[in-house]
Structure 1
Amino acid sequence: MRRGRGILSSSSSKRSGARGRKMEGVALQMKVKKLQKIIPGGEGLDSDELFVRTADYILLLKLKISVLQILSKLHTP
């Protein structure tokens, strides 16, 4: 199954065997390291903890957007 450029993308038809899995593992590690840098408190977390922290951070950002939208509507004449 191919899903674009996301973490779940697979190009097994282009790669074979252990080499392909190793390349995919390296790509995944790079993505995790990038995520660790942009999520507050994410550096040093293992993948499971990082994904939970990421989900929490996304919910926090959505809440902040909702609050700002409400404040914007209250301020608009």
Structure 2
Amino acid sequence: MANYNKYDPELKEKVLHLYLEEGRTKKSLTEEYHLGQGTITYWIQQRRKECQTNTTVKEQTDAYEENK
């Protein structure tokens, strides 16, 4: 079975940035970028898993969570 990415990695990073660093809601991002909310949720979960091994990403995510 082929493994492929349906979405451009730049789009994924932009959406994650808007959600994690600018405080945008999943709903607003799904409407603006025509993505499923499940897709965005999955990307966020992936990023949080990356945080466990990558301290730079973890620090960015922690900073966002503190400012929520």
TM-score range, shorter chain: 0.3 to 0.5
TM-score, normalised to structure 2, is 0.36
Larger RCO (CA within 8 A; separation ≥ 6): 2
User: Highest CA radius of gyration, 1 or 2?
Assistant: 1
Q: From the two aligned structures, give the one with the greater helix fraction.
A: 2
